[in-house]
A and B are shown apart, each in its own frame.
Chain A
Amino acid sequence: MNAVPDGRCTNAAILNQWHPLVAVDEVLVDEHREATLLGEKLTYTARPDGQILVWRSADSEAVELPIEVDYLCVWVCLGSPPDGLFEISEFRESDRRNVHAGTIGVHVSAPRAVENFLDMGHFPYVHTNILGVEPHTEVAEYEVHIDPQTNDVWATECVFYQPIAATTSTEGQMSDYLYRVPHPYCVILYKTTPMHDERMDVIALFCRPVSADHIQAHMFLSLLDPDNSEAAIRRFQQTIFGQDKPILENQHPKLLPLDPRAETPIRADKVAIAYRRWLSDMGVTYGVIPVGAT
């Protein structure tokens, strides 16, 4: 249906995307390392001049695959590469702290991880005393739209009570969130920062689909936080993701069902409903259970 028997992806909607392979820092000069993407083993290395090369490990000719280097990651495409990668303009602002907070393996499909990232209702239960706390459980109404120009899914006017929203927090606050899905397996969060009224912190999750139901989750941040060390920012993000991981690994089925009848949505899931429909409309069949597949 979406993968040939050896697990390789045959879904054009996914093959023709840029996927995050590794953090740029992990690509070492003249050292060959392997990583699996969409069921295929790839080898990557850097030349002494800094140029990064990626090829299929099984390819005796070692034909170079198209790559992009951005947001502290190496992105690779196994099909026909789209024009450029989605834009996170904050990354180019000079006073930002841009941090790659690590890559963690999770036994779940990329869309399940994206959907969890889009979800506020779990904060009091999964990130207790950090991103949420009982009894502040209400998910207020918010807006969802699809940008007609970029085709990104947006959730706007999201508000949630948070005891410690970020490394810079000293007390509880109502956090304002914007969510953006620019890629089937990538999701970006724009969040109120205690430091600024107008500008927002950016936290993103870029999933590398190792297979249909395994990911390597890249955590990327672009923050307005001059004080905390990079290590402290990484730790905060790893704590949060470490709490999500056992939830994700206890979801069944691991592939995201796109049929609305498979699970029971509530109003708080408006953006998840839009995301599932958007994946369907885009023809994504890898990492999901397409409508009518069962």
Chain B
Amino acid sequence: MITLYDYELSANCYKQRLLMSLLDIAYESIPVDFFPGLEHKSEAFKKINPMGHIPVIDDDGFVLWDAHAILVYLAAKYDPSNRWYPTSNPELLGETASWLLFAEGTTNTASAARLFVNLGYDFDIDACRAGAHRLFRQLDEHLWFREREGRDWVCSAPHPTIADVALFPDVILSEEGGVSRLDYPALRRWTERVKALDGFATMPGIFPLGTS
């Protein structure tokens, strides 16, 4: 059984919940009082993750932290289709790695801006927002061309990968950080395609795809 050390309003924890929901992996969520309790900085928690951050998973004794690393591990181990983290397709694997790196950027800008606004983190908010806009502009153009190629996802495959899962929370929650997506129509369309995936899970702050 996988245990996820979790905080419901964290974009990085949501990445794990989203992937496990998409892959239909059973897991147990252990809530961490991230805010206002700062439980992840406690002595007790540092015995689980000495770095003092979440998410962390414990898969039958194997403990791993860092959001994108956990995505890699979960997809490599639990996706029998080998699509989400395509270890047997070097080109696609390389693309996925490249976009995961890009997602580090969106985490450090768009999601950082959200922490600033919501929870009062001490970041350079103007730099976070400007950085998020720069990356969103690139991603919007990239996804526009993907649509022209008849592709729906960040990587060139006809199916989504963990790169989509890593980027989606940073993008969809950006407005909480004061980063509007009005100028990025292709990015907005892509978020709706992610929401339409089988097994999609939402979180507070993300409107589900409406049906009626």
Binding site for B on A (CB under 8 A): 23, 25-26, 100, 102-105, 107, 128, 216, 231-232, 234-235, 238-243, 245-246, 249-250
Contact = CB atoms under 8 A, between A and B. Distances in A.
Nearest to A103: B36
B111 to A, nearest CB: 15
Contact of B36 (A25, A232, A242, A250): A25
Given A234-B33, A235-B31, A239-B204, A246 B176 contact: yes
A285 B97 CA distance: 53
A162 to B, nearest CB: 17
A241 to B, nearest CB: 8
A231 to B, nearest CB: 4
Nearest to B212: A134
A238 B117 contact: no
B175 A249 contact: yes
Interface of B: 8-9, 31, 33, 35-37, 39, 117-120, 175-176, 178, 203-208
A245 B206 CA distance: 10
Nearest to A25: B36
A238 B205 contact: no
A105 B33 contact: no
A8 B175 CA distance: 25
A238 B9 contact: yes
Contact of A246 (B31, B119, B205): B205
A180 to B, nearest CB: 25
A245 B117 CA distance: 12
Contacts of B119: 104-105
Given A100-B36, A107-B178, A246-B176, A231 B31 contact: yes
A242 B117 contact: no
23 contacts: A23-B36, A26-B36, A103-B36, A103-B120, A105-B117, A105-B118, A105-B119, A216-B120, A231-B37, A232-B31, A234-B33, A234-B37, A238-B9, A239-B204, A242-B9, A242-B203, A242-B204, A242-B205, A243-B204, A243-B205, A246-B175, A246-B205, A246-B207
